[in-house]
Structure 1
Amino acid sequence: MFKALIIVPILAIRVPAYADQPDVKPLPEHQRFAYEQTQPHQALAKLLAIPSFRASHVAQPFSDLDALYQAAPDAQQELETLAAKIAQSVNGNVLSAGLKGKARAVEKVTKELGGDASLLTDIVRITVETDSIGSLNKAYEHLAANTQTVEVINRFHFPQPSGYRDLKVLVTLPESKLIAEVQFHLRAISEIKNGPEHYIYEQIQGIERHAASEGRALNDIEVVKIEKLRAESRKMYQLAWAQYQPLGMVV
């Protein structure tokens, strides 16, 4: 018995180069919008997740204020050079007030730090200002990769009573070994802080100093006035902070 062998020919079909391409449709508007919102949401979540902490031992290598000030100029230059590189990498700005004034340093060491200058950690300082949360995250990561972080205060996660938000970091500089303070600001919030809110801050400080000079607690009228001033600050800061929020999300 013979079995029939059926051979099925396979046809090779050549597609001309000018043939129509597959019909790829763009995402609908609502889907594209959701995709574009993913990155800002991730950046915000990353910023809010930066933990606040303080190392067990945070101290300058000098307990004498004069010795600290002798080393400070080189440390300030080291910090400003690093900050300039960080700002350039994220298209941000560096704001420098220079070294902390010595008269103010003497007052702080004497009245607040028990005479121990090694606890003065903001004599060398700098501010890095960015235009986006993503850029601020990258700037912080750059700093952390090039220094030893000894303290972080994440005031984006837990803002001050006035509504002010920033990221304040203490680091040990690799060359000078001094501790320096670095603040990361978002531009719109920084403009409020250095503009209209500064006047409100001075008013609150004036009220509190007046009560302290008389050796008493704030009275009811002063408490109400301070709360009203802080409410004005919170409103301004919240409007500034909202500029950086993904649409439909307010933190």
Structure 2
Amino acid sequence: MGRMFKALIIVPILVIRIPAHAEPVDVKPSTNCQSIYYQQPEATHKAALNELMSISSFRAQHLEQPYTDLNELYDVASAAQNELEALASDIATQVNGEMLSPGIKGQQRAAEKVAGELNGDASKLTDIVRVTIETDSIADLNSAFDKLASATKTQEVINRFHTPRPSGYRDVKVLVTLPETNLVAEVQLHLKAISAIKNGEEHAIYENIQRIERLAKLEQRDLSHWELSKIEKLRTESRALYDAAWQDYHPLAKAV
């Protein structure tokens, strides 16, 4: 009887140890964010999240374009946009991401911004040339950031994963000086699920907030208590959408 009892103890121990020596499971890649998470060790995701949160926001002391005249800026803008798109496309390919380009900022809109917001100084217009890089994982976004920093001179970083907008929106916005045309360009680094919310469900909420704020500005008055309450309610809806998308990339991470 004593021998049988010992055997019962030993057998479970052997069963537990066997998987440690088994062949690794061949897991096929998936485009689903949650699937990607569960295919990799928790420690890998924690390391990627820590790396993302360690990206510091900063702004260079002398951040400006090499031209003060708007027409001179637009003379080189096309070449700069081509340079940026080629660079971003190459980075996106390396990190299994996607490069998206809205093209050069419209010159009329740029002129309005220079006159109304930048005191007539076109050298302060830093988003005339811009692209977006979308990735499917935090680790890939980190890699895109590193590759961008290696290929250009970083002038500004705003890490909205560390400090999200009131709506809950998160991304990393980077301003860089391009090596060939020497123009300052804007690169937004997105996680695809969050970008999908921004361009989908949340867009109508954003438009409603903008409509309320524009009306108050047009009427040259402060927002009413009702309007402030409405905006906060809309932002709460936005936060719920963005937080849910953010959790998909790291289920164990608390929403920031």
**Counterpart in the other structure of 2:96:** 91
1:213 matched to 2:192? The reply is no
Q: RMSD of the TM alignment (CA)? A: 1.6
- The Cα shift of 1:122 comes to 0.1
Question: In the alignment, residue 18 of structure 2 is paired with which amino acid?
Answer: K
Deviations 1:183-213 (A, max 9, x none): 0000000000001111111110110010001
Question: In the alignment, residue 58 of structure 1 is paired with which amino acid?
Answer: L
**4+ aligned runs moved over 2 Å, structure 1:** 23-28
The separation in 2 between residues aligned to 1:88 and 1:46, in whole angstroms, is 21
1:42 matched to 2:47? The reply is yes
1:122 matched to 2:165? The reply is no
**Counterpart in the other structure of 1:18:** none
What does 1:155-234 align with in structure 2 at a 5 Å threshold? 155-234=160-239
Tell me the SS of whatever aligns to 2:41.
Answer: helix
Tell me the SS of whatever aligns to 2:50.
Answer: helix
Aligned partner (choices 224, 234, 252) of residue 248 of structure 1: 252
The separation in 2 between residues aligned to 1:55 and 1:173, in whole angstroms, is 15
**Counterpart in the other structure of 2:105:** 100
Aligned partner (choices 18, 23, 26) of residue 19 of structure 2: 26
Q: Percent identity?
A: 57
The separation in 2 between residues aligned to 1:150 and 1:83, in whole angstroms, is 17
The separation in 2 between residues aligned to 1:24 and 1:198, in whole angstroms, is 52
- The Cα shift of 1:25 comes to 3.3
- The Cα shift of 1:26 comes to 3.0
- The Cα shift of 1:250 comes to 1.6
- The Cα shift of 1:77 comes to 0.2
Question: In the alignment, residue 120 of structure 1 is paired with which amino acid?
Answer: L
The separation in 1 between residues aligned to 2:211 and 2:230, in whole angstroms, is 12
The separation in 1 between residues aligned to 2:197 and 2:99, in whole angstroms, is 17
Question: In the alignment, residue 195 of structure 1 is paired with which amino acid?
Answer: G
The separation in 2 between residues aligned to 1:199 and 1:104, in whole angstroms, is 22
Structure 1: segments with no counterpart, 5+ residues: 1-22
The separation in 1 between residues aligned to 2:171 and 2:252, in whole angstroms, is 22
The separation in 1 between residues aligned to 2:108 and 2:246, in whole angstroms, is 35
What does 1:44-83 align with in structure 2 at a 5 Å threshold? 44-83=49-88
- The Cα shift of 1:36 comes to 1.4
- The Cα shift of 1:249 comes to 2.7
Aligned partner (choices 147, 151, 175) of residue 146 of structure 1: 151
Q: How many residues align?
A: 223
Question: In the alignment, residue 183 of structure 2 is paired with which amino acid?
Answer: L
Structure 2: segments with no counterpart, 5+ residues: 1-15, 22-37
| Larger Rg belongs to | 1
1:235 matched to 2:240? The reply is yes
Tell me the SS of whatever aligns to 1:243.
Answer: helix
Q: TM-score, normalised by structure 2?
A: 0.85
